[in-house]
Structure 1
């Protein structure tokens, strides 16, 4: 018996990295998963390797497209939404172009809003479910050149708490995961080898986090094990938050 047997999950930013890891583990635990990503070929390839996986090519900043994809998949029910899509760029705020900031805000905040907006009626009709938003340890302490990214993730934490109250009365549990340093292609676009080593040295456990570990935490929140957890941001960070920058 899988921990998510018979449940249906829609996951954004699932072409690779953490989103793909969550999709794979959800499927292994018995869920039917929909993988949404702006990179069509990548998400199709990832979904093809998952039993029953369905791929949706979606720009999460496009409200109509997100609603259409969620409605398509959720026609037979929806139990879990994972808001994982993100746009990365690290730079001093004074050097951040407006178009990049707009893109980060559109994907990181609006994309989360639109997917949640689309999924909520389906979850309520199902009698409840789980929404998991991806936050970051960048909310807890300053990371060089990450002002925009950290601000977006701070907004996600606030949104998580707000929605946990609003949707809890309908049996929908809303929580967030805040991973520490996870070596994914997306993170690798803004963190070099020296940066990874610095982050590893900052953790009390002396190691980075794996995408599998983040996926396991997502299963914990989505399954019956998380039945009484709402409005929480769970850190999976090898202790980097409690240690702080050193």
Structure 2
């Protein structure tokens, strides 16, 4: 307990699901966390990371570069610095590529990829000013095998993997470690909106451990990556998938 006491973190897409679980895991260890999400209602729901007093919550559309910078700069001004960044925000839609609307593709790229760019631009100067820090990007097992109707989503997550490696090399000399988490199927509101009951059962049946990971387990993995135990780990995408990627689709 308390391994992140005195540390600060920014988590995007932190209104619920995996983002909130990661934020809560950090807060439980003494970290002061800024929760960024475009859903104001979700941000009003208290948890370990966001107490009833409101804490550091920012209604922010990560696809908007200025909104991200303003939120990050305000948080740093209030707390005195930044140590950890988690780029989790995503926009889901599964559909055959041939018929997917352009505005849906644009929104997915704007949130899932450009939103990560804007977060890195806004946060890495503050991490460097602190003498270093940790970045975690959210990838997916969708990079490892094909998922029906997930061409755009998988492509974005593949780009996130590449970006993670690039930034690990670019930012390493500044003491900044950059890694990614690649969860397997996790039952969150976003994932449930695009995966049928049959799809969940199929994924579970193909997982060697016979179960799917919980959001809290993803939070625990994020906690490991920002801990001293991972001090020499950078440029890595860590799968938390119960073995589904070694089983195959």
Q: What band does the TM-score fall into relative to the shorter chain?
A: over 0.9
Task: Describe the SS at the equivalent of 1:18.
Answer: helix
How far has the Cα of 1:224 moved from its partner? 1.1
Task: Describe the SS at the equivalent of 2:43.
Answer: helix
Gap regions ≥5 residues in structure 2: none
How far has the Cα of 1:74 moved from its partner? 1.5
* Cα deviation digits, residues 161-195 of structure 1 (max 9, x gap): 00000000000000000000000000011011111
**Does 2:20 correspond to 1:20?**
yes
**Does 2:114 correspond to 1:107?**
no
Gap regions ≥5 residues in structure 1: none
Contact 1:137 1:237 in 2 (8 A): yes
How far has the Cα of 1:58 moved from its partner? 0.2
Q: Distance in 2 between matches of 1:219 and 1:193?
A: 30
Q: Which residue of 2 aligns with 1:87?
A: 91
Q: Which residue of 1 aligns with 2:138?
A: 134
**Does 2:40 correspond to 1:40?**
yes
Task: From 195, 198, 204, give the equivalent of 2:199.
Answer: 195
Q: Distance in 2 between matches of 1:4 and 1:202?
A: 36
Contact 2:28 2:49 in 1 (8 A): no
Task: From 56, 59, 69, give the equivalent of 2:58.
Answer: 56
How far has the Cα of 1:55 moved from its partner? 0.5
**TM-score, with length taken from structure 1:** 0.97
Contact 2:23 2:49 in 1 (8 A): no
Q: Distance in 1 between matches of 2:39 and 2:24?
A: 18
Task: Describe the SS at the equivalent of 2:174.
Answer: coil
Q: Which residue of 2 aligns with 1:159?
A: 163
User: Could you say what the CA RMSD is over the residues aligned between the two structures, in angstroms?
Assistant: 1.2
Question: Structure 1 residues 113 and 145, CA, compared in 2 at 3 Å: closer, same or farther?
Answer: same
Q: Distance in 2 between matches of 1:16 and 1:122?
A: 25
Question: Structure 1 residues 202 and 48, CA, compared in 2 at 3 Å: closer, same or farther?
Answer: closer
Task: Describe the SS at the equivalent of 2:44.
Answer: helix
Aligned length: 245
How far has the Cα of 1:159 moved from its partner? 0.2
* Cα deviation digits, residues 29-66 of structure 1 (max 9, x gap): 11000100000121122468634831100000000000
Question: Structure 1 residues 60 and 89, CA, compared in 2 at 3 Å: closer, same or farther?
Answer: same
Q: Distance in 2 between matches of 1:92 and 1:3?
A: 45
Greater mean deviation of Cα atoms: 84-93 or 2-11: 2-11
